[in-house]
Chains A and B, each alone.
Chain A
Amino acid sequence: MIFAFEELKKSRKQLLSMLLTSQTMDNFQAHHTGNMDQYFRVSLQESQAGHRLFSKRTPFAFLAVGGYGRGELSLHSDIDVLILFGSKIPGLAKGLTEEIFYPLWDLGLDLGYGTRTIKDCIKLSRDDFEVLTSMMDARFLCGDSLLFLDLIENLKKKIISKRKPIFARWLEDLYQVRMDIKGDASVILEPDLKDGIGGLRDYHYILWLAKAFFDLAEPRDLEYSGKLSHNEYKALKDRLDFIWLVRNHLHQLSGRKNDRLNFEYQEKIALRLGYQDCRDLLAVEQFMGDLHASMADVKSLNRTFIKSHLPKGRGPWKEAEALDLVKGLHTYQGEIRFDSATVILSDPLMLMTVFEQSLQTGYPLSMEARRLVSEFLSLLDNNFRRSEQTVGDFLRIINGGHAFDVLIQMQEIGFLSSFVPEFGKIENRVQFDAYHTFPVGRHSLETIRRLKGINKQKEMLLLDIFLELPDPEPLFLAALFHDIGKVGPKHAVRGAEIARKILERMHYPGKATENVLFLIRRHLLMVETATRRDLNDEKSVVQCARIIGNPEKLRMLYLLTWADSMATGPGAWNDWISNLVQELFFKVLNILVRGELATDGATQKVQETLDGIRRISVRDEGIDPDPFIEVMSPRYLLVSTPRDIVRHIGMAQGMREALKNDTVPVFAFDARENPVEDCSEITFLAKDKPGLFADMAGVLALNSVDILSADIYTWRDGTAVDIFKATKPLDPIDPDRIWQRVRQDLERSFKGQLSLAYRLGQKRASSVLYNHEKSGRLSQVVMDNSSSDFFTLIEVFADNQVGLLYMITKTLFDLHLDIRIAKIATKGDQIADVFYVLDFQGQKIEDEAHLKEIEEALHYQLIQE
């Protein structure tokens, strides 16, 4: 006993060092199993109880069952042994187990054992299929081999042959339970290597099914009997070896039986297996990518094997007849098949047609069809990829309702990465964080799936937007390729470049191509803008709107943003972010629909203006214009000339300096001739405060400066820029005298030393020039709260009067309104003014009563005498 035990201890140590030093499975399992077998055989020979049983001619057999029976032991796997007796269990059995099994517990091995008669085994297996599968994997170790054969015979005759369909159903139910509880291991972040879908149990499922239905004995028989092709079997073994290798390291690192590959182990195992960080991918990301790919293959093989070999239930396809599809394909029992392999050889384009037919019929490819496609992938050359027919079929698939189901098949078989090699490059890329649920390839397909299945109840707005798209095809293509640039950094821009090549290859039409590329290049724009920019600031929204350009692109981008986030992981989309992006969507839409600020012409004009500004400032002043440009509002930049803007910058600069020196009041004032328009131009800069415009208007009125038009802007740093165009001053010989007076009046008004109301009232009363007659035309006040998301608009039409502008603006001030932008115009003796206002808290006026009050108050002023 001692000898066997010591041997076992020694060999386990060797096993451990073998694992830690080599990077492949080599013969780990063979060694491990062999060690255990050796132990049992030798210790049985040495055991006293064993000898006694022999001498009494009581036949018994030691069997390895379960994973041990299959010879698949990992480092800390359970070791399940069965001592089988013929008809009765002798008392000596207890002694036997003590001698042989107890020492193993001291070694820390998880031993499971049973002592049973053949009858016991049959009974238990009949009632519990888990026991049955364990028995099916039984392997003779030592003792009486005839007993073992007897057991197997009985199992087959009494249970398996009679209960095949029930057993098959049990196996599939088990699969569903695993799916529900452990999930699809081929895509989740911390996969369960055994029970997750794509894990070892998928393989065991195949084995058990094959053993029960085809009477196969060894795994190798899967190939020998033709149930799997040579390539398939080899691929399966390779994948399994990889998974077992990972599992062994996982056992060693956890120090116990453990199938859950948690984050903390992933990096260590990646390094042990020889993966190295490279420029674009971490070692752990490459490792997990490979692992996911392996598990995806196992999963795929399991599903097609089961589909092909499980007895069919009563499906909707009652006919056992084959139904012809297009030439070369037919359906049979709910699957698509090729008529023969030569179909593909004579027309390789059939490799795409089969998928297109899968879309049309809704039927999946049979296992045989999948195998054929996979074997003939080498026929996919550039002619295939460029062929009008295959491209047409592919686009049909993308546009179809069941696009996802077909694309998944394409991906699993390897067809998709052959048809689009660029997709193959990023397919298994994993991003090592808790945020991304899927590898990139699967994520892209999931994005398409979301777009196809927008739920009316939960996402009514998105559905409405989707239904409005004249042609969603570019959106689907963008969804498929949006992460194709994840071979390196800046994947959005890079992805657009890569996608361009793909679309060129497909001879995709120009305009639609531009839309696809735009979507890919900008697929992160909305989330970034919504979370990092101030959505209450018109400029942020306008800039975003200019990038997007038109409502159709906006709609597609919003849909892609949503689908991409939903397909990323549970943390990527929730109410919180949905609020922000939706707000951005509506605001950008309004800007794009109203026109003016975000048309192509506007974008270009602003760009030219900016270039002009930089050119002039560099040449003239050496002032750095950029900090000022940063705060300039969109309308201001759109309307003003570069020369004027530079002049204003100079004035603003002067103001800043004055502020430092503590001169009060601080404003910049400039009045000059505008010969082109034959008027005077007065520019006024000051720190904006409510009522500023009113004061300005008042002072000008007081000095009989007749305002023809005015443009009021407010920069984001609070600088008010007021530009007035006025009739030439009363004294053409010495205009400066007037401007001097205006400047002085302004200063006094700012200091509170001038009462404009009183002065203007006086002036009006005494003026002989003042026209006290009303012209018959009615004045009009229009309140507009829908043209802008950022301001309340007030339009005023009335007869021109001295000081009218002052009265209007003063009224607005009294009503606690802050004028941010204004456009004043006169036509003859009529004025047409637009004021963009906010309340003193910086919000639009939402209160109906308040709006009414403003309207009435202004009206009153206008008809006032």
Chain B
Amino acid sequence: MKKIEAIIKPFKLTEVKEGLSRLGVQGMTVNEVKGFGRQRGHKEVYRGAEYQVDFVSKVRIEVVMEAGLVQEAVKVIQEAARTGQIGDGKIFVIPVDEVIRIRTGETGKAAI
């Protein structure tokens, strides 16, 4: 089992979510986050005061799935989230040791 963590541009959330749904991915966790990579924040000046934003607002999606689905899921996310401009984000694939459903105690694949 693997966990996919994707940092994407906020307005791409709906597209990515729909793409994953079509793939059969059943659940996900979504967070509002801020960060920066090579996309720099920008600076504005208003009435003599500087307003510098260093951390850009992004959305983080976390999904856990069977390893076999990962390759396709990554492709779907990439296609949906891409604008071609800097700041499109990154996808991380992380191994998962165990998954447990709290309500029933199921583990492994059945708990995803």
Which B residues are in CB contact (< 8 Å) with A531? 10-11
B51/A582 in contact, CB under 8 A: yes
B57/A579 in contact, CB under 8 A: yes
Q: Closest Cβ of chain A: how far from B15's Cβ, in Å?
A: 10
Which A residues are in CB contact (< 8 Å) with B10? 531-532, 580
Taken together as a complex, chains A and B put the C-alpha atoms of A580 and B59 apart, in Å, by 12
Question: Within A574-601, which residues are at the interface with B (CB < 8 Å)?
Answer: 574-577, 579-580, 582-583, 586
A580/B57 in contact, CB under 8 A: yes
Interface segment among A30-38, A738-746, A841-849: the answer is: A841-849
- Among A465, A537, A576, A718: residue with most chain B CB under 10 A: A576
Q: Closest Cβ of chain B: how far from A24's Cβ, in Å?
A: 39
Let me know if B49 is at the binding interface, CB within 8 A.
yes
Task: With CB as the reference atom, state the residue of chain B lying closest to A579.
Answer: B57
Option from B9, B11, B32, B42 in Cβ contact (under 8 Å) with A576: B32
Taken together as a complex, chains A and B put the C-alpha atoms of A580 and B38 apart, in Å, by 18
B34/A576 in contact, CB under 8 A: yes
Let me know if A20 is at the binding interface, CB within 8 A.
no
- Among B39, B46, B47, B49: residue with most chain A CB under 10 A: B46
Q: Closest Cβ of chain B: how far from A720's Cβ, in Å?
A: 14
A843/B39 in contact, CB under 8 A: yes
Which B residues are in CB contact (< 8 Å) with A575? 34
Task: With CB as the reference atom, state the residue of chain A lying closest to B47.
Answer: A464
Taken together as a complex, chains A and B put the C-alpha atoms of A172 and B40 apart, in Å, by 54
Let me know if B56 is at the binding interface, CB within 8 A.
yes
Let me know if A534 is at the binding interface, CB within 8 A.
yes
**Could you mark each residue 699-722 of chain A with 1 if its beta carbon is under 8 Å from any beta carbon of chain B, else 0?**
000000000000000000010000
Let me know if B44 is at the binding interface, CB within 8 A.
yes
Option from A460, A536, A579 in Cβ contact (under 8 Å) with B55: A579
Question: Within B54-101, which residues are at the interface with A (CB < 8 Å)?
Answer: 55-57, 83-87
Task: With CB as the reference atom, state the residue of chain A lying closest to B86.
Answer: A841
Which B residues are in CB contact (< 8 Å) with A574? 32
Let me know if A461 is at the binding interface, CB within 8 A.
yes
Question: Within A548-605, which residues are at the interface with B (CB < 8 Å)?
Answer: 574-577, 579-580, 582-583, 586
Given A576-B34, A579-B56, A842-B85, are A534 and B44 also a contact pair (CB < 8 Å)? no
Let me know if A533 is at the binding interface, CB within 8 A.
yes
B11/A534 in contact, CB under 8 A: yes
Taken together as a complex, chains A and B put the C-alpha atoms of A789 and B87 apart, in Å, by 16
Which A residues are in CB contact (< 8 Å) with B38? 841
Let me know if B111 is at the binding interface, CB within 8 A.
no
Taken together as a complex, chains A and B put the C-alpha atoms of A21 and B54 apart, in Å, by 61
B40/A579 in contact, CB under 8 A: no
Q: Closest Cβ of chain B: how far from A370's Cβ, in Å?
A: 44
Task: With CB as the reference atom, state the residue of chain A lying closest to B38.
Answer: A841
A464/B49 in contact, CB under 8 A: yes
Taken together as a complex, chains A and B put the C-alpha atoms of A84 and B11 apart, in Å, by 71
Let me know if B23 is at the binding interface, CB within 8 A.
no
Q: Closest Cβ of chain A: how far from B56's Cβ, in Å?
A: 7
Taken together as a complex, chains A and B put the C-alpha atoms of A116 and B53 apart, in Å, by 69
Q: Closest Cβ of chain B: how far from A395's Cβ, in Å?
A: 28
B46/A534 in contact, CB under 8 A: no
A460/B53 in contact, CB under 8 A: no
B34/A532 in contact, CB under 8 A: no
B42/A460 in contact, CB under 8 A: no
Option from A535, A537, A576, A843 in Cβ contact (under 8 Å) with B86: A843
**Could you mark each residue 720-762 of chain A with 1 if its beta carbon is under 8 Å from any beta carbon of chain B, else 0?**
0000000000000000000000000000000000000000000
Task: With CB as the reference atom, state the residue of chain A lying closest to B48.
Answer: A464
Question: Within B1-45, which residues are at the interface with A (CB < 8 Å)?
Answer: 9-11, 14, 32-34, 38-40, 42, 44
Which B residues are in CB contact (< 8 Å) with A536? 83, 85, 87
Taken together as a complex, chains A and B put the C-alpha atoms of A537 and B85 apart, in Å, by 9
Which A residues are in CB contact (< 8 Å) with B46? 461, 464-465, 586
Taken together as a complex, chains A and B put the C-alpha atoms of A586 and B43 apart, in Å, by 10
Which B residues are in CB contact (< 8 Å) with A576? 32-34, 57
Which A residues are in CB contact (< 8 Å) with B11? 531-535
Taken together as a complex, chains A and B put the C-alpha atoms of A191 and B17 apart, in Å, by 35
A843/B49 in contact, CB under 8 A: no
Taken together as a complex, chains A and B put the C-alpha atoms of A536 and B87 apart, in Å, by 9
A534/B57 in contact, CB under 8 A: no
Q: Closest Cβ of chain B: how far from A609's Cβ, in Å?
A: 26
Question: Within A194-251, which residues are at the interface with B (CB < 8 Å)?
Answer: none
A-B CB proximity, top 7 nearest: A842-B85, A576-B32, A841-B86, A586-B44, A579-B57, A576-B57, A532-B11
Please name 9 further chain A to chain B contacts, defined as beta carbons within 8 Å, in addition to the given A464-B47, A532-B11, sorted by A numbering: A460-B49, A531-B11, A534-B11, A575-B34, A579-B34, A842-B85, A843-B85, A843-B86, A846-B40
- Residue numbers of A with Cβ under 8 A of B are 460-461, 464-465, 468, 531-537, 574-577, 579-580, 582-583, 586, 718, 789, 841-843, 846
- Residue numbers of B with Cβ under 8 A of A are 9-11, 14, 32-34, 38-40, 42, 44, 46-47, 49, 51, 53, 55-57, 83-87
CB-defined A-B contacts under 8 Å, sample of 21: A460-B49, A461-B46, A461-B49, A464-B47, A468-B47, A532-B11, A534-B9, A534-B85, A575-B34, A576-B34, A579-B53, A579-B57, A580-B10, A580-B57, A582-B51, A586-B44, A841-B85, A841-B86, A842-B84, A842-B85, A843-B39
